[in-house]
Structure 1
Amino acid sequence: MPHPQSKIHRMSELVEPIGTVTFSDVPNEAFLAIGMRNYWDGYFAGRAAPLGTAPAEVVHAVFYNFAEGEVARHIPWVWGKTTPQEAIAVRERGSTDAMRRRIGELADAPNLTRLADLTTRAGLSAPTEGRALYAGLRALAVPEEPLARLWHSATLLREHRGDGHNAVLLAHGISGTESHVLLALTMGMRAEKFGRIHHLPKKQLAAVIDGLRARGLVNADGGFTDVGRETRERIESLTDDLAAPAYDVLTPDELDELIAGLEPIAAALRAAED
């Protein structure tokens, strides 16, 4: 029997703060220490490293939601300063260190190894077809240390869901930049204020919003239409459906145990970020 979609979605909420600790100050400082010029150099070096020295065009396609030209400002430049192998190691060490600092005594909790085991079983069991970034991550060695293993497996699950999400966006004709507009509106924020796209030239962003408006997804005031809101909800629901197979390897009791065990860790990470 498949797990309820509500639990699949809850897992996405719990692995998100674990996976995104990678993009915090401690890993960033570690990348700056090996010669990266800025935050985004480290971001692209670390996240793209499982793809090897793929050209900017490939990274742009796999990541999906960056504006044209943004990836090329960093790839392949970063591979003149580091290697994918070094970037993977720096990312793992920095992310594990950041987690340990942020969750405190939870890093040494008696059930941490068990949580890492369950998350790893799920993270290594998902299908790879059509999921290039997840497949690249799954080809990497799994860390032995429990906290590093928990971070690694949560990242696997996050990127597996992300690859599926990109497929759903593509099927609905939603570009990566458009998806950020829809996400901003879901968060109750004007698209022009959203961090991932606010830096775009005003004319470029206005053209993206106008395109969504012409398709009936955004209204004259720049907010959701009913159709836009329904489309966003359908995309999220289908994304959860595509993420579900990763958890088939776990029994209902194991999934409940994993959710309960990850909740305080995710809460501590969110509190530290706030």
Structure 2
Amino acid sequence: MDKTSVHPMTHIARRMYELLEPICLVTYFADECNEELAALGHRTYWDGYFASRAAPLGRVPAEVVHAAFYNFADGEAARHIPSAWETIPPEASVAARERGSAASLRRILGEELAGSPGLVRAADLTTKAATSAPMEGRMMYAGMRTLAVPSDAVARLWHSATMLREHRGDGHIAALLGVRIGGTAAHVLSALEMGIHPPESFGRIHHLPKERLAAVMDDLRERGLVDTDGRFTDAGRETKRRIEALTDELAAPPYDALTPAELDELITELEPIAAALLAERAQ
């Protein structure tokens, strides 16, 4: 990548990812969201996941959800969409996801931090960034932008952090497409970066048919990205680095809306929030 063309906010985009990702992840790892979705009548975790995350796109076919989510194997979206919406309106699933996620944040952060002026300020600045980026080519982000921003500060922080996560995810998909890395192959590269070997044992893909995983690994070997032992080659490691660098660059535009002083303030206010959430995950 030509370093002279890199977006000046690229390093900020990486730092904001580190600080905002723990806020978004309560949706998937804390209990409250799952409980809210189950109370609606969703039978499984994945019914609730697909129904609530895809809902901002509208009642689209499974093929559209598969394309937008990108990293699920063929047929996985179709097991849940549109059946998860047949008795539960998409709007109800979105609202349940927001309620549960906000409840998780309040519980984990505690009353003092969740009710602090710093969190309110973090929510306001995160929302300013999250509602300022161009939507062109950003399917999931554009869907989230159609939803009302919550008035409650904790819910607003979660909502806006999730908007930025989807914005980043849309850019990540563009970066993967640019180097012809499919969704399953992307999980293989991530597993290798995390030191997981064999990469086929990674939790996001280990359940897939062995023939499917073997085909993906064979393709990566033929392209010189992994070696015969299923480990990174130098070319594979460089490809992963390029994907992440471009993802950061494409994630930067929302932060153009904030002044340098506002960015410094936002980072300062988010640091104790992220630290508390990471500490909870580590327990």
Q: Which runs of 5+ in 1 are unaligned?
A: none
Contact 1:120 1:153 in 2 (8 A): yes
What corresponds to 1:263 in structure 2?
271
1:75 pairs, out of 70, 81, 86, with 81
Q: Percent identity?
A: 64
Indicate whether 1:21 and 2:26 are aligned.
yes
Residues 84-133 of structure 1, C-alpha deviations (whole Å, 9 max, x = no match): 11111101100100111111131112211111110000000011000011
Find the aligned partners of 2:238 and 2:260 in 1 and give their Cα distance: 30
Deviation of 1:210 after TM superposition, in Å, equals: 1.2
SS of the equivalent of 2:252 reads helix
Q: 2:191 aligns with which of 184, 193, 198?
A: 184
The 5-angstrom pairing of residues 152-231 of structure 1 reads 152-190=159-197, 191-231=199-239
- Picking from 4, 7, 10, the partner of 1:5 is 10
**Letter in structure 2 aligned against 1:212:** L
Deviation, structure 1 residue 3: 4.2
Cα distance between partner residues in 1 of 2:45 and 2:173: 24
Give the deviation of 1:192 after TM superposition.
Answer: 2.0
Is the Cα contact below 8 Å between 1:3 and 1:248 reproduced in 2? no
Question: Secondary structure of the residue that 1:117 maps to in structure 2?
Answer: helix
Aligned 8 A contact 2:119 2:270 in 1: no
TM-superposed deviation, 1:81: 2.4
Aligned to 2:259: 251
Out of 147-156 and 186-195, give the one that drifted further: 186-195
1-structure distance, mates of 2:108, 2:166? 22
Of 99, 104, 107, the match for 1:101 = 107
Who is 1:90 aligned against?
96
CA distance in 2, matches of 1:270, 1:208: 33
Helix, strand or coil: the match of 2:251? helix
Counterpart position of 2:3:
none
2:260 partner letter:
P
| Cα distance in 1 between the residues matched to 2:221 and 2:205 | 17
Give the alignment's Cα RMSD to 1 decimal: 1.3
Aligned pairs, number: 274
Higher mean displacement: 24-33 or 137-146: 24-33
Question: Which of residues 54, 57, 60 is equivalent to 1:48?
Answer: 54
CA–CA separation in structure 2 for the residues paired with 1:144 and 1:67? 37
> Tell me, what secondary structure is at the counterpart of 2:34?
helix
Q: Alpha-carbon deviations, 1:49-90, whole Å to 9, x = none?
A: 101111100000000000000011100111112111111110
Partner of 2:65: 59
* Separation in 2, partners of 1:17, 1:41: 23
Q: Compute the TM-score of the two structures, normalised by the length of structure 2.
A: 0.94
How far, CA to CA, are the matches of 1:173 and 1:150 in structure 2? 34
* 1:216-243 deviation line (CA, Å, top 9, x unaligned): 1011111110000001001111111111
Structure 2: distance between partners of 1:199 and 1:106 = 39
Q: Which AA in structure 2 matches 1:267?
A: A
Q: In structure 1, the residue corresponding to 2:117 is in which secondary structure?
A: coil
Once the two structures are superposed, what CA deviation does each residue of 1:116-168 show, in whole Å capped at 9, x if it has no partner?
11000000001100001100100110000000000000001110000000011
> Runs of 5+ in structure 2 lacking a partner?
1-6
SS where residue 85 of structure 2 aligns? helix
Q: Distance in 1 between matches of 2:17 and 2:68?
A: 20
Shift of 1:252: 1.2
